[in-house]
């Protein structure tokens, strides 16, 4: 299973990511092992979507990082 997730950082920015091991990835974020979130701790998970297909997950991640996807996420997901 693949998970697309959105994190809210301490500086009020958002991070969108995709992984096949959400527990490990969130742990790496929390420990400061991910460049973007390392200086923006603590983080809060505001959304997770699970996909059976890796390509659909990456497609959704790319969409959420686009202008219309950011607007959609802001209005509907957090």
CATH number assigned to the domain comprising residue 8: 3.40.1440.10
Question: What confidence score (pLDDT) does residue 78 get?
Answer: 82
Residue range(s) defining the domain that contains residue 43? 2-76
| Distance, CA of 18 to CA of 54 (rounded, Å) | 9
Q: How many helices (H) and strands (E) does the chain have?
A: 4, 3
Q: Which whole number is the average pLDDT over 60-77?
A: 96
Number of domains observed in the structure of the chain: 1
**Per-residue pLDDT reduced to its tens digit, 12-52:** 999 999 999 999 999 999 999 999 999 999 999 999 999 99
68: Cβ contacts below 8 Å, ≥ 6 apart: none
Q: pTM value?
A: 0.94
């Amino acid at each position: 299973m693949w998970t697309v997730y959105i994190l809210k950082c301490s500086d009020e920015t958002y991070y969108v990511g995709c992984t096949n091991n959400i527990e490990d990835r969130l742990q790496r974020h929390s420990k400061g092992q991910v460049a973007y979130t390392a200086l923006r701790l603590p983080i809060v998970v505001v959304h997770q979507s699970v996909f059976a297909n890796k390509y659909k997950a990456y497609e959704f991640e790319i969409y959420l990082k686009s202008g219309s996807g950011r607007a959609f996420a802001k209005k509907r997901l957090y």
